[in-house]
Amino acid sequence: MVDNHQKTCTHCLRPAVYLDRVREIHLCREHLMAFVEGQVLAHLEKTNLPPVIGIAFSGGKDSTALLKAFCRIHNDLPCSFLAMTVDEGIEGYRQDTIRAAEEICRVLGVPHHIIRFQDVFGHSLDQLVAGSERNACTICGILRRRALEILARRLEIRVIATGHNQDDHAQTAIMNAISGDEKKIFSGFAESDWYARRIKPFARVSEREVTLYAILNGLFHDLPECPYAVSSLRGEVRTLLYRYELKHPGSMRNAARCEEEIRQRLGGSFTRNPYQACVSCGWPGSGRVCQVCKVLNDTWTGEDKADHI
């Protein structure tokens, strides 16, 4: 963000609100909004979409910005949409964000559906994490993916848009590299008719741009942070990458695009085993027992590689 009194938009004479340090241009409010919405539209236009898609809506900044972008460009969209929220059951955090999500959907007039860990798995995330050695985010990711799939099936949703932005992709690229998880890069995520397809309309929009978009739309609220966030590897990688991006603008974008390029060129180099039905719950997974059942039966180990993002 820049000194508004000194800079004007590169495209017009209005005051600038944003400095794109990679492209070395200044953008005013209108052009920043147009850029973000243009990226979303371009992503959707190159994707084959059904008449209705779901937006994974946590109530946080990124998914709120995505929902708003969908609403602002809805006349140009090739599909209609609804919002889907997972309540993991995290005391002191989720109640506030769920309330915020409900309020935003009410104001925007978007149909909103919520699914709760407690209802589908019989336990909240807090209960599953209590006394466990396992990483909360790993458990959360595995179960959240399943909960979202269950909700999607109930609503007959076959495509889910998520608010992952370019920075998230860069973090994932580095995390895959430092954890030596080459299969995730080279095989991508397994496709299955069973699971809803995921799309990421913010894949080419940076976190700063998404944040500013939310602020300019009056949607940035000071919500509590998940108490488990500090324990994640992603949190550490995020901090490191931000420091690096400050010194070397463009690093984040390069890391994200590099992995995207590798996936496009070499995706499929590793052949995934075909999905097989879990002997316990019947959902398709990569082994005899799916990861959700392993988590719920407390038999998941670090050797099990998660299929979730």
Q: Is 39 in the site for ligand SF4 (CB under 6 A)?
A: no
Distances (CA, A) of 128 to 85, 122, 279: 20, 10, 22
Distances (CA, A) of 169 to 14, 18, 245: 32, 22, 14
Q: How far is the CB of 149 from ligand SF4 (least distance, A)?
A: 16
Q: What is the rounded distance in angstroms from the CA atom of residue 6 to the CA atom of residue 226?
A: 38
Q: What is the rounded distance in angstroms from the CA atom of residue 296 to the CA atom of residue 298?
A: 5
Among 70, 228, 275, 300, binds ligand SF4 (CB under 6 A): 228
Using the contact rule CB under 6 A, the part of the chain among 21-29, 157-165, 199-207, 224-232 near ligand SF4 is 224-232
Q: Is 53 in the site for ligand SF4 (CB under 6 A)?
A: no
Q: How far is the CB of 144 from ligand SF4 (least distance, A)?
A: 7
With CB under 6 A, what is the number of residues at the site for ligand SF4?
9
Q: How far is the CB of 128 from ligand SF4 (least distance, A)?
A: 10
Q: Is 85 in the site for ligand SF4 (CB under 6 A)?
A: no
Q: Is 232 in the site for ligand SF4 (CB under 6 A)?
A: yes
Q: What is the rounded distance in angstroms from the CA atom of residue 148 to the CA atom of residue 100?
A: 19
Q: Is 140 in the site for ligand SF4 (CB under 6 A)?
A: yes
**β-strand 25-27 against 18-20: which pairing, if any?**
antiparallel
The answer to whether 60 touches 99, Cβ cutoff 8 Å, is no
Q: Is 171 in the site for ligand SF4 (CB under 6 A)?
A: no
Residues that bind ligand SF4 (CB under 6 A): 88, 136-137, 140-141, 226, 228-229, 232
